């Protein structure tokens, strides 16, 4: 195992120096907090990560969950972890005091989540899923539901899930068929099958509370017919005991990675006695689920960031320690070999990982800060729009580039990277899920180009530009960064021109042709967004470098500037080829039809 | 399991219609062959692939080799396969009649290897490694060695290996330390440890013949001190029996993929009685090994092509059968869902895989044809230089792009792609080794930019340009392809200009700075090379399309043209961003030093 999986120094830099998270304390909701409480939260998260999570990373991959007669058995370490998380109040930490929360800013909470997911993503998802399910009850449930379910879920004693996917329904959720038959007893009879439900059965909790989408009998086709239900594994009897709710786990998937967390099939209502409790209004299920979806999508981005952080540090440690070859300008075979990190191509692969990881991390915490400001600041719409605009990027960029980033980690280790003695091959497997779950990359590309750009008459897109412009103006004042400010300025001009060109075509070509390359558009926009994050960080680092006297600090800030340079030199330039492709009217992917793939 | 793993139709197209492999029969060496014998060879290879290899793909991944007390136990199916391969004369098929060969063109042999590796790469490597080891004996061994070892190796009864890597020596082979102490009995005493040696122990063969690099005691440091030895697992006694040769397998690696073939540690000379037999002259070991290395590197490229071919067909089959969502222009939820293959983004990912696979395949068979011509044609140097020039590209492009190609296969299957019920996750794991073994991508980038471009005063590079120009001129005559001929022409002009610009810097900057981005240069050159292969195929397909009356043929040729269009529209454009990066004088990857990575 590598010694390091995340940089606490970098987290502190982004939170305190780039985002000045402490300034949130000026708002009443956060006034009890201070940089001290934030530090304490992160210290505790770091301790949990180091003591209870990271040591089980490999074991949970190898001794993955076992299914037996409708019950799933998971690694025992999950129990200790959930207990600690429950007792520490982590699941509801951002909730108001009246719900036993701590009114912790999301920015700090997500920083802790980055620690958790870099230590052991499979373990981290158990409470993450519970938080997502609890949020649905918190937002749309009745007071009775809140009383019944939330304390146990917050305490880590009950697991929560979000049950959407069905055997024939993945991305196309409007087509789901799980049915809910009304009764006159206040509950619905649920019947159907769900698949790919994370943590929907485990022996380390007393109950599982599934937040499930289903179609009330007779409801219209498509999205308007979908409603949200609580479908617990065990339900309360009238006497307050528990009884079996005619729902069981029919099996778990054997997966490429992310193996410490079981992905379950759920079978409901075989005995026609599976009770479901309607949450909110009928027909609003998908809308309610999607109001929570931002949180889940940020969670995927943050999870990806955690994994590539850990892969980066594992490969960095190896590159520092392993000697191989000599400098290209000095190949005397009688001299000792040099550490890998002295080779330019190894440094290129390290800088790539560092740039992707820390650029995405900076974006993740910025979006979290927007969430905090959405809650407390005057201009709520502004922050809400910025969040909506940035979500597809935050969800997708670390997930897609993370595949390459973890692959670079393997490449640095060479043959050893391909073997199980080092953790990088696991990160490579673990991260591959992120471009799929909570909406595939294709869905997010269509979301950005098809909706977010034009949403509210383009207001979100304009707000995004204004934020980037602030950063460019700030950086342009610093001579050493003028070149990068200029490069980003040019990129933004290209983006405006391209987006305008595409928008003009929107009404003259089919929607299919308009959206055919939206994945590439998402990539284009993501690169620009991450370049913005790097310019932001470089501007802070440039000032701090001047003010630092400690060698260690100077190296940190200079390292930031080098990494930003890497991003501009090697990554930002990719937009020019993407632009060329995106402007083309040749639409072979639309034109070709299935019979031409036959041979 | 998917039904299809490779397209025989496509192989025939490249062999017969693009390369006109039958024309080799005009040369005496190949005169006994005809299109009929080629067809027979491929029919047999297809049958072996279908009956003896593909059915065990998943089983060999799951029931991977087991090590016990110095012995490795592999899947029983390997034994039947080796028997068939041995009896069929596959290992020496390209060798002259006097060595029991069939004087089969390499072009046809590699086509068969593509079939084998698409069916089951882990199984295919057993005889592939034997062929590599046997080639060394065939080329550099004494007649006595040939008599002693080759018949059993060709017969598939003895396994061959190539034993280079050591615990501290991977890419930097000049530093290896395995020692060979001369005796007065005609053998050397070998002592040391090798790692990552594929198939160096297995219970399905009677003996293993390791072709091993070692340093004769007192030899100079570095490459000039390295010699080549035969180090058999069991050696002959004077009476003709076998005895243990003091070499054993100390363990096998648990790997990300490519699991059906064991990767062994070898421990030699613990009892000071491991005999090694010098092959060729002392000090020539690495040179001899590298003369065979072209074959091994083509083998890696071909292996990668096989895996992504199989991944492509698995995802194609899924996209044809699985229904999900509706057309973007027609989202009526009361209508049935459409097959995935009707969505543009799915077609984009299919075209990407098809373009990478078939473009690389076309290059692989072209290089093989050059190998045949090198053997028989007048202008041997021309073909030899073209082969040397193209090897880094053929080895690397399918290996690196194959990672993305197999990843696209997973993405098409969504959550199912991440699960073990479908084979794509295995291909994704299996292919990750190819950018590492037989020289990492970094080594090949340095080879191309640092040596191959300037080799023989740039003659190889010029020959490459002449070959591409022929294709461009041919395609430019066809109005429907003029646009693509023009695009490739522009790309070649850019390549010349960029290469010239880089060459001019060569003597004014350090070698480290000159080669710092050679991996990106390799990518740039590879994209152009594959575009050339696509233009070649499009030109043939365009003519054939006009001459076809069968609907099935028309669809095939039109599919080729669409795929070529995809390559030009989506892949070739990537060179413009790479060019921008490669021309830059900002060398952050050289400038940054290890202390800036500390935090």
Distance CA B431, CA B257 (A): 8
Q: How many CB atoms lie within 10 A of CB A334?
A: 7
Contact status, residue B453 vs residue B515, Cβ threshold 8 Å: no
DSSP bridge partners of A234: A244
Please count the CA atoms within 13 angstroms of the CA of A283 that sit on its side-chain side: 6
Distance CA B195, CA A419 (A): 12
- H or E element: which one contains B457? helix B455-476
Contact status, residue A136 vs residue A280, Cβ threshold 8 Å: no
Contact status, residue A544 vs residue A478, Cβ threshold 8 Å: no
Q: How many CB atoms lie within 10 A of CB A564?
A: 27
Beta-strand pair B179-182/B207-216: parallel
Contact status, residue B38 vs residue B164, Cβ threshold 8 Å: no
Cross-chain residue pair B339–A403, CB shorter than 8 Å: no
With contacts defined as CB-CB under 8 Å, which chain A residues touch B569?
581, 584, 586, 588
Annotate A18-68 with DSSP letters as a single string: IS-GGGGGGSGGGTT--HHHHHHHHHHHHHHIIIIIGGGHHHHHHS--EEE
CB-nearest partner of B597 from A316, A328, A513 = A316
- What pLDDT score was predicted for residue B37? 96
**Chain segment B257-305, per-residue pLDDT in tens:** 999 999 999 999 999 999 999 999 999 999 999 888 889 999 999 999 9
- Kindly identify which residue of chain B lies nearest to residue A583, measuring between CA atoms: B569
**Chain segment B345-375, per-residue pLDDT in tens:** 999 999 999 999 999 999 999 999 999 999 9
Q: What angle do CA B173, B106, B356 make, to 5 degrees?
A: 75
- What pLDDT score was predicted for residue B291? 81
Q: Tell which residue, B318, B394, B410, has the closest CA to residue B356.
A: B394
Burial of A144 (0-12, 13-18, 19+ CB in 10 A): exposed
With contacts defined as CB-CB under 8 Å, which chain A residues touch B419?
253-256, 263
- A350 phi, psi to nearest 5 deg: -70, -45
Task: Tell which of A494, A589, A590 to mutate to test the B interface (max B CBs under 10 Å).
Answer: A589
- What pLDDT score was predicted for residue B70? 87
Report whether pLDDT(B76) > 90: yes
Contact status, residue B481 vs residue B535, Cβ threshold 8 Å: yes
**Chain segment A74-86, per-residue pLDDT in tens:** 999 999 999 999 9
- A66 phi, psi to nearest 5 deg: -120, 135
Report whether pLDDT(B393) > 80: yes
CA distance A372 to chain B (A): 28
Cross-chain residue pair B597–A175, CB shorter than 8 Å: no
Task: Tell which of B283, B418, B427, B429 to mutate to test the A interface (max A CBs under 10 Å).
Answer: B418
Can you count the helices (H) and strands (E) in chain A? 18, 12
- Kindly identify which residue of chain B lies nearest to residue A557, measuring between CA atoms: B596
* pLDDT band per the 50, 70, 90 thresholds, residue A292: confident
Mean pLDDT computed over A444-473: 98
Q: Which residue has the tokens 């749309």?
A: A140
Mean pLDDT computed over A464-468: 98
Report whether pLDDT(A15) > 80: yes
Tell how far CA A474 is from the center of its chain.
29
Q: In which region does residue B89 sit, left (phi positive, over 0), alpha (psi from -120 to 50) or beta (all else)?
A: left
Mean pLDDT computed over B220-244: 95
How many contacts (CB atoms, under 8 Å) link A and B?
294
Both structure tokens of A420:
């199980």
Contacts of B585 (CB under 8 A, 6+ apart): none
With contacts defined as CB-CB under 8 Å, which chain A residues touch B576?
576-577, 580
With contacts defined as CB-CB under 8 Å, which chain A residues touch B599?
7, 9-10, 552, 555-556, 559
Contacts of A7 (CB under 8 A, 6+ apart): A309, A313, B599
- What pLDDT score was predicted for residue A532? 99
Q: Tell which residue, A398, A426, A493, A456, has the closest CA to residue A57.
A: A426
Is the pTM of the predicted complex or chain greater than 0.90?
A: yes
* pLDDT band per the 50, 70, 90 thresholds, residue B411: very high
Contact status, residue B427 vs residue B500, Cβ threshold 8 Å: no
Q: Give the alpha-carbon dihedral of A480, A484, A489, A492, to 10 degrees.
A: -160
Q: Reduce the DSSP state of residue A265 to 3 states and report it.
A: strand
- What pLDDT score was predicted for residue A330? 84
Q: Tell which residue, A228, A467, A591, has the closest CA to residue B348.
A: A591
Please count the CA atoms within 13 angstroms of the CA of B31 that sit on its side-chain side: 4
Both structure tokens of B12:
């025939």
Burial of B330 (0-12, 13-18, 19+ CB in 10 A): exposed
Distance CA B388, CA B384 (A): 6
- CA torsion through residues B88, B90, B96, B98, sign: negative
CB-nearest partner of B597 from A254, A559, A565 = A559
Q: Kindly give the interhelix angle for A380-413 and A285-321, rounded to the nearest 10 degrees.
A: 40
Q: In which region does residue A76 sit, left (phi positive, over 0), alpha (psi from -120 to 50) or beta (all else)?
A: alpha
Distances, alpha carbon B27 to alpha carbons A282, B23, B128, B367, B411, in Å? 79, 8, 27, 18, 47
Cross-chain residue pair B345–A518, CB shorter than 8 Å: yes
- Kindly identify which residue of chain B lies nearest to residue A175, measuring between CA atoms: B333
Both structure tokens of B543:
């003519």
Report whether pLDDT(B1) > 80: no
* pLDDT band per the 50, 70, 90 thresholds, residue A99: confident
Q: Which residue has the tokens 């007071």?
A: A143
- What pLDDT score was predicted for residue B475? 98
Q: Kindly give the interhelix angle for A35-48 and A106-140, rounded to the nearest 10 degrees.
A: 80
- In SS3 terms, A420-477 reads as CCCCHHHHHHHHCCCCCCCCCHHHHHHHHHHHHCCHHHHHHHHHHHHHHHHHHHHHHC
Contacts of A272 (CB under 8 A, 6+ apart): A189, A191, A246
Both structure tokens of A431:
């991260």
Distance CA B249, CA B25 (A): 45
- What pLDDT score was predicted for residue B599? 79
Report whether pLDDT(A1) > 80: no
- Kindly identify which residue of chain B lies nearest to residue A262, measuring between CA atoms: B419
* pLDDT band per the 50, 70, 90 thresholds, residue A171: confident
DSSP bridge partners of A264: A197, A252
- H or E element: which one contains B266? strand B263-268
Distance CA A84, CA A77 (A): 11
CA distance B353 to chain A (A): 11
Mean pLDDT computed over B498-513: 95
Q: Tell which residue, B202, B185, B68, B56, has the closest CA to residue B127.
A: B202
**Chain segment A334-352, per-residue pLDDT in tens:** 899 999 999 999 999 999 9
ipTM of the predicted assembly exceeds 0.95: yes
With contacts defined as CB-CB under 8 Å, which chain B residues touch A566?
588-589
Q: Which residue has the higher pLDDT, A334 or A456?
A: A456
- CA torsion through residues A595, A599, B6, B10, sign: negative
Contacts of A268 (CB under 8 A, 6+ apart): A178, A190, A191, A192, A193, A194, A212, A231, A246, A247, A274
DSSP bridge partners of B252: B264
Burial of B251 (0-12, 13-18, 19+ CB in 10 A): middle
CB-nearest partner of B559 from A428, A442, A596 = A596
DSSP bridge partners of B230: B211, B277
Mean pLDDT computed over B321-344: 92
CA distance B433 to chain A (A): 7
CB-nearest partner of B342 from A9, A555, A594 = A594
pLDDT above 90 covers a percentage of chain B that reads: 94
- B206 phi, psi to nearest 5 deg: -90, -20
Distance CA A489, CA A502 (A): 20
**Chain segment B533-557, per-residue pLDDT in tens:** 999 999 999 999 999 999 999 999 9
With contacts defined as CB-CB under 8 Å, which chain A residues touch B350?
597
Mean pLDDT computed over B215-220: 96
Q: Give the alpha-carbon dihedral of A575, A577, A580, A585, to 10 degrees.
A: -110
- A192 phi, psi to nearest 5 deg: 155, -165
Please count the CA atoms within 13 angstroms of the CA of B191 that sit on its side-chain side: 11
CB burial of B546-566 (b: ≥16 within 10 Å; e: otherwise) equals eebeeeeebbbbbbbbbbbbb
Mean pLDDT computed over A43-53: 98
Q: Tell which residue, B136, B200, B141, B212, has the closest CA to residue B176.
A: B212
Q: Tell which residue, A539, A538, A317, has the closest CA to residue B588.
A: A538
- What pLDDT score was predicted for residue B416? 96
């Amino acid at each position: 195992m590598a010694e390091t999986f995340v940089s606490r120094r970098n987290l502190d830099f982004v939170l305190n120096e780039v985002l000045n998270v402490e300034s949130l304390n000026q708002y009443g909701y956060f006034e009890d907090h201070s940089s001290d409480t934030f530090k304490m939260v992160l210290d505790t998260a770091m301790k949990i990560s180091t003591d209870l999570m990271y040591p089980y990373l490999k074991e949970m991959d190898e001794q993955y969950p076992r299914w037996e007669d409708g019950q799933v058995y998971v690694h025992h370490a999950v129990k200790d972890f959930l207990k600690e998380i429950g007792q520490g109040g982590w699941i509801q930490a951002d909730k108001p005091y009246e719900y036993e929360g701590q009114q912790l800013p999301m920015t700090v909470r997500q920083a802790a989540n980055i620690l958790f997911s870099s230590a052991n993503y499979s373990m981290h998802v158990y409470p993450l899923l519970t938080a997502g399910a609890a949020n649905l009850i918190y937002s749309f449930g009745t007071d009775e539901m809140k009383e019944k379910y939330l304390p146990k879920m917050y305490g880590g004693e009950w697991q929560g899930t979000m049950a959407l996917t069905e055997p024939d329904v993945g991305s196309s959720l409007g087509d789901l068929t799980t049915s809910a038959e009304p009764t006159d007893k206040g509950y619905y009879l649920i019947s159907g099958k769900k698949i790919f439900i994370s943590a929907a059965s485990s022996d380390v909790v007393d109950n599982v509370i599934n937040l499930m989408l289903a179609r009330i009998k007779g409801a219209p086709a498509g999205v308007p017919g979908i409603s949200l239900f609580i479908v617990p594994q065990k339900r309360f009897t009238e006497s307050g005991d528990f009884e079996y709710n005619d729902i069981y786990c029919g099996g778990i998937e054997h997966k490429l990675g992310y193996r410490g967390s079981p992905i379950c099939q759920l079978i409901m209502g075989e005995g026609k006695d599976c009770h479901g409790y309607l949450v909110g209004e009928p027909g609003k299920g998908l809308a309610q689920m999607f109001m929570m979806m931002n949180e889940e999508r940020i969670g995927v981005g943050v999870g990806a960031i955690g994994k590539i952080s850990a892969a980066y540090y594992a490969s960095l440690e190896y590159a520092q320690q392993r000697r191989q070859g000599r400098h290209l300008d000095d190949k005397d075979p009688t001299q000792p070999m040099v550490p890998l990190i002295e080779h330019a191509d190894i440094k290129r692969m390290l800088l790539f990982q560092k740039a992707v990881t820390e650029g995405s991390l900076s974006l993740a915490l910025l979006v979290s800060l927007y969430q905090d400001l959405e809650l407390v600041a005057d201009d709520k719409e502004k922050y809400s729009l910025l969040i909506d605009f940035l979500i597809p990027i935050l969800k997708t960029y670390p997930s897609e580039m993370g595949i390459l980033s973890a692959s670079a980690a393997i490449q640095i280790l060479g043959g050893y990277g391909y073997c199980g003695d080092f953790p990088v091959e696991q990160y490579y497997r673990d991260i591959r899920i992120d471009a799929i779950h909570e909406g595939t990359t294709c869905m997010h590309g269509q979301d950005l180009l098809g909706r977010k750009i034009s949403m509210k008459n383009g207001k979100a897109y304009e707000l995004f530009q204004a934020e980037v412009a602030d950063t460019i103006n700030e950086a342009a004042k610093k001579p050493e960064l003028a070149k990068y400010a200029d490069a980003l300025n040019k990129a933004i001009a290209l983006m405006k021109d391209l987006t305008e060109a595409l928008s003009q075509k929107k009404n003259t070509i089919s929607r299919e042709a308009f959206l055919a390359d939206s994945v590439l558009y998402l990539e284009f926009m993501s690169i620009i967004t991450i370049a913005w994050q790097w310019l932001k960080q470089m501007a802070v680092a440039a000032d701090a470098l001047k003010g630092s006297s400690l060698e260690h600090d100077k190296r940190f800030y200079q390292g930031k500037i080098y990494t930003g340079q890497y991003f501009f030199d090697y990554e930002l330039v990719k937009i020019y080829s993407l632009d060329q492709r995106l402007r083309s009217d040749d639409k072979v992917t639309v034109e070709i039809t299935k019979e031409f793939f036959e041979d």
